[in-house]
Amino acid sequence: MINLFRYWRILAMATALLVAALMGACAQAPQAPVPVTGLSEVTIDAADFSYAAPETLNAGWVRVKMTNVGKEPHHVQFMRLNDGVTLPQFQEALKQGEGPALALVQLTGGVGAVDPSSAANAIINLPAGNYVIACFVTSGDGVPHLAKGMIKPLTVTAATGATANEPTATTTVRLKDFAIDMPDTLAAGNTVIKVINDGPEFHEWNIFRLTEGKTTQDIFAWFGNPAGPPPFSAIGGLNGLSTNFVGYAELDLKPGAYLAICNIPSGANQGKSHSELGMIKEFTVK
């Protein structure tokens, strides 16, 4: 989710190889979520390089439905500006690097990266305040999408009246420094995954579905030499959470081999990504 992620740059480069085929494909309809009722919903279209999204939302639990209508991978990260912090201050801090910028916000989740012409859902809890949504994926030219315009302010207002209850999950995932605690096997079909950041660093839970016949070793070999299409599909998940924050990923899981990964750089380990420090989890869907 951070612009220093070499992984996202490599993924975007490979995606360019698939553009010709994707141009003729219609965008998939957003996956049908497991019924979680009583939630407000926000629909976001992620393009190259902008968001079509509302300017205001009500506080509380909200379902975020993101469709990637662009030609590069995209995600949406929700960040609540700390009290007293302005958007210009946050943008100025971004010029200094991800550390100074993230010190000014709380990460409240969002939809993990999805491939072009794909969609995914997440359920996140938004306290009232001033927010920024942004895409930190980096294009093949080395420029992060937010620097190309993929950053948008929004306001979350205090809710009036009754608010939705926290969803009920099928499975719980716990993110730690530095491991992903989750089952080895998940059931195929529509599911709701609760994701908890036990921190203390920021963490994310992004999901790849391996191409049939490919392995995790193929993924990392491809990272080292991104020739040809990637051996996986990016299908969403839950974007970055601050410590003790909780979110939910709504997924329609097909049978196969998967990889869960956190690629946020570590603040205490010389900038190594969390995946380098052990935040990778292989799992199977049956």
- Tens of pLDDT along 92-137? 998 888 788 889 999 999 999 999 999 999 999 999 999 999 998 8
Interval 185-204 mean pLDDT: 95
pLDDT band, very low/low/confident/very high, at 1 (cuts 50, 70, 90):
very low
Is 3's pLDDT higher than 70? no
Length of the chain: 286
Distance from C-alpha of 285 to C-alpha of 232, rounded to nearest angstrom: 15
Interval 215-224 mean pLDDT: 83
What are the structure tokens assigned to 187, written together?
A: 């059931």
Give the distance between the most distant pair of CA atoms in the chain: 54
Among 4-13, 75-84, 103-112, 205-214, the least confident range: 4-13
Identify the residue with better confidence: 32 or 228: 228
Distance from C-alpha of 135 to C-alpha of 112, rounded to nearest angstrom: 10
pLDDT at site 249: 97
pLDDT at site 161: 76
pLDDT at site 135: 95
pLDDT band, very low/low/confident/very high, at 18 (cuts 50, 70, 90):
very low
Mean pLDDT of the chain: 86
Using an 8 Å Cβ cutoff, are 117 and 68 in contact?
yes
Is 222's pLDDT higher than 60? yes
CATH value at residue 69:
2.60.40.420
Is 162's pLDDT higher than 90? no
CA 206 vs. chain centroid, Å, equals: 6
State which residues form the domain around 173.
Answer: 6-285
Among 85-89, 209-213, 234-238, 264-268, the least confident range: 264-268
pLDDT at site 33: 44
Tell me how far CA of residue 172 lies from CA of 34, 196, 249, in angstroms. Answer: 15, 8, 10
pLDDT band, very low/low/confident/very high, at 35 (cuts 50, 70, 90):
low
- Of 70, 61, 87, residue with least CA distance to 145: 70
Considering the domain boundaries, does residue 1 fall inside one? no
Order of strands, edge to edge, in the sheet holding 56-58? 56-58, 151-157, 129-134, 74-81, 105-114, 232-241, 203-210, 256-261, 280-285, 185-186
Cis peptide before 54 (omega within 30 of 0): no
Using an 8 Å Cβ cutoff, are 120 and 110 in contact?
no
DSSP 51: E
Q: Is the dihedral of CA 15, 274, 94, 78 positive or negative?
A: positive
User: Which residues are CB-contacts of 22 (< 8 A; sequence separation ≥ 6)?
Assistant: 71, 116, 117
Distance from C-alpha of 7 to C-alpha of 273, rounded to nearest angstrom: 10
Among 8-12, 88-92, 221-225, 265-269, the least confident range: 8-12
pLDDT tens per residue, range 36-64: 667 889 999 999 999 999 999 999 999 99
Number of domains in the chain: 1
pLDDT band, very low/low/confident/very high, at 185 (cuts 50, 70, 90):
very high
| pLDDT above 90 as % of the chain | 64
Partners of 78 in the β-ladder: 109, 133
